[in-house]
Amino acid sequence: TRLIPPKSVLCPPQLGFSHGVLRRVWHKMKAVFVRALAYQPVSISNLVGLRDFQNKCYAVVCLTRISKTVSLFLIKQYFNSVHQSLIFGHLMCHDNALIEKYGYTACCAKEGAEEEECFHALKNEAVIPVYQHPPAEEALYRFSAALLSIFLKNYVSVSLEYCQKLANLAQKFPKATAHDLEELAKDIVHAHEECCKGHEVECLLARGDMIAHVCDHQEKYSTKVHDCCEKPWLDRADCLINVENDEKPADLSATTFKCCYFYSCSCLLIKPFLCYSFTYEYARRHPEFSIQLLGRLTDGYEDLLVRCCAMEHPETCLPEGEEMLKKHVAETLEVVKKNCDAHSKLGDYFFHNELLTSYTKKAPQLEGEELLKYTKGFVGVANRCCNLDEGHKLKCAEENTGLVLGSICARHDDHNINKQVCKCCSGHYDDLRECFGGLGVDPEYHAPAFNADLFHLDEGICTDAPEEAQRKKQTLLINMIKTKPDITEEQLVSAIVDFQGLVTNCCEAENHKVCFDTEVYSRNTMELKNFL
């Protein structure tokens, strides 16, 4: 058995390669070390091995930071004493297919420096053509175009997440400076990127650095983080996320616009600065606002600047923004009030039916079970948020509604629903609730031919547990809307009253099944259609 150095010392602790980079490096190493090797798919085991090297090195660094008992310097020094090419020799000598195909059994029988020298002797540099450098101007153009393309592709999503995090932090830590919160927001976005890419150890390190920074500088952020920082290290993150908002500074003015006038038009030249300044100032003054509302207010402020700063005297135009944003806030509050009032008046079941009617018209392509699931999510939002005080109701309602709508958009990304849903899901996340709220009947939906079997009633409606009986009734409601999506409110009410009377009569009858069969199927097809 060949003696292989521990994997945790075979790779550089600061390596940060993705699977794509590792794949390209592996192809190149194989191409130059193996004669006449054609480009071929990399086996998963190769990549897992390389990735394992990387992750274990990060784990060593992570443990070093946590325990502070191992010297990172010694780890680096020990690594530097090992030739990096041993990594590839180790992997190639454990791939029997390569050994047999390209005949380097002799190299794999050697160890250490001899093995390395043997592989170097097999190099075939001619396999990879020498890169021809383009003229300077062409190279600059290629680089600029590629860089701009990458930047534009990622700018919107990254800047959006950054502004959302900044708004959230400003609400939580209103006494902190803009600079401190901007830096913390950047760190959070970076940590999320690592976590969402599946880089577990990098994710852990990034979160650990943030937690350590906040706990080491509590005076910069909030006295309310003290208890969180006293908890065990692994419990601190969730605690900090859920820590209550700090009190606003006593000398904080009530108005946002006046503090922004002096640099308003300059913001148009550097739009990220608009996000930093306006979002920070507005969020720290309004912890009761949702992140989506703050995003829409920032967009509205930007539109105002575009209009006002084109004028000769923008200072005469800018004050209009205060009333404009107040109007939008009032409209958002009214939507929340309207929905909460409806939930209070109707109760869970009938409020759920209202939502089913609305969303079946918006997205009739969804399966019945999907419509039941998503609309039940909205009912859960009403139960969770509508009884909160005014300082928390709007934020709770809109942010949780956004999560339900986000799940609908995730479903759309997997399997297209329809064009109007696509338009909402492709737009700005902050506008998601408003966009879905403005949707009506899908104009491109073609209702299926009438099918009486979809409206079959069985005795289970009378004998099942209440929740199951309600689910069956709601399934009938969904089928009714899908069959006649343009049904009017009056027609729907009439059909529901007729249906409730039918159910009441048959559930009181001695034989429920016979009653349902007689009452429903004694009608001819046209009568049942009119029932809709």
Q: In this predicted structure, what is the pLDDT of residue 367?
A: 96
What is the CATH code of the structural domain delimited by 7-127? Answer: 1.10.246
Q: Which runs of consecutive H residues, i.e. helices, occur in 217-319?
A: 218-221, 226-229, 233-242, 257-260, 271-274, 280-285, 291-308
Q: In this predicted structure, what is the pLDDT of residue 135?
A: 67
Higher pLDDT, 244 or 43: 244
Most confident among 118-127, 439-448, 457-466 (mean pLDDT)? 439-448
> Average pLDDT in the 22-35 region?
48
Q: Which residues make Cβ contacts (< 8 Å) with residue 398, sequence separation at least 6?
A: 290, 292, 293, 332, 336, 433
Kindly indicate the confidence band of residue 383, based on its pLDDT and cuts at 50, 70 and 90.
Answer: very high
Q: Which amino acid is present at 59?
A: A
Q: Among the listed ranges 393-397, 421-425, 495-499, which one has the minimum average pLDDT value?
A: 495-499
Among residues 7, 257, 37, the alpha carbon closest in space to that of 125 is found at 37
**183-195, pLDDT tens digit by residue?**
898 888 888 888 8
Q: Scanning the structure block, which residue is given the tokens 């009617």? A: 357
d(CA 164, CA 172): 12
pLDDT at 197 over 90: no
CATH number, domain 157-318, options 1.10.3720.10, 3.40.50.720, 3.90.1150.10, 1.10.246.10: 1.10.246.10
> Average pLDDT in the 378-391 region?
96
**165-180, pLDDT tens digit by residue?**
999 999 999 999 988 9
What is the CATH code of the structural domain delimited by 452-472+480-531? Answer: 1.10.246.10
Kindly indicate the confidence band of residue 59, based on its pLDDT and cuts at 50, 70 and 90.
Answer: very low
Percent of all residues in the chain with a pLDDT value above 70, rounded to a whole number: 67
Q: In this predicted structure, what is the pLDDT of residue 275?
A: 57
Q: In this predicted structure, what is the pLDDT of residue 152?
A: 44
Kindly indicate the confidence band of residue 454, based on its pLDDT and cuts at 50, 70 and 90.
Answer: confident
| 314 within 8 A of 357, measured Cβ to Cβ | no
For residue 200, with 0-12 CB atoms within 10 Å meaning exposed, 13-18 middle and 19 or more buried, which class applies?
middle
Kindly indicate the confidence band of residue 426, based on its pLDDT and cuts at 50, 70 and 90.
Answer: very high
Q: In this predicted structure, what is the pLDDT of residue 146?
A: 53
Higher pLDDT, 489 or 141: 489
Q: In this predicted structure, what is the pLDDT of residue 514?
A: 83
Q: In this predicted structure, what is the pLDDT of residue 9?
A: 33
- Exposure on the CB side of residue 225, measured as CA atoms within 13 A: 23
**233-263, pLDDT tens digit by residue?**
888 888 998 999 999 998 888 765 554 554 4
Kindly indicate the confidence band of residue 520, based on its pLDDT and cuts at 50, 70 and 90.
Answer: low
Structure tokens at 278: 């306006």
> Average pLDDT in the 139-161 region?
52
Instruction: Establish whether domains 157-318 and 452-472+480-531 are of one fold.
Output: yes
CB atoms within 10 A of CB 441: 16
Q: Among the listed ranges 290-304, 310-324, 331-345, 360-374, which one has the minimum average pLDDT value?
A: 310-324
Chain centre distance of CA 507: 47
Higher pLDDT, 134 or 275: 134
Structure tokens at 259: 């503090």
Most confident among 74-78, 114-118, 466-470 (mean pLDDT)? 466-470
Length of the chain: 532
Q: In this predicted structure, what is the pLDDT of residue 328?
A: 94
| 292 within 8 A of 432, measured Cβ to Cβ | yes
Higher pLDDT, 80 or 241: 241
Q: In this predicted structure, what is the pLDDT of residue 446?
A: 92
Q: Which residues make Cβ contacts (< 8 Å) with residue 184, sequence separation at least 6?
A: 169, 210, 213, 214
> Average pLDDT in the 84-97 region?
62
> Average pLDDT in the 99-126 region?
74
CA torsion through residues 287, 293, 295, 299, sign = negative
Higher pLDDT, 53 or 280: 280
CA torsion through residues 89, 95, 99, 102, sign = negative
Our CA angle for 260, 333, 283, nearest 5°, is: 30
Q: In this predicted structure, what is the pLDDT of residue 492?
A: 87
Q: In this predicted structure, what is the pLDDT of residue 265?
A: 64
d(CA 11, CA 82): 9
Q: What's the fold here for domain 331-437?
A: Serum Albumin; Chain A, Domain 1 (1.10.246)
Q: Scanning the structure block, which residue is given the tokens 């004998």? A: 463
Q: What is the pTM (predicted TM-score) of this model?
A: 0.67
Domain spans of the chain?
7-127, 157-318, 331-437, 452-472+480-531
> Average pLDDT in the 331-339 region?
97
Higher pLDDT, 468 or 51: 468
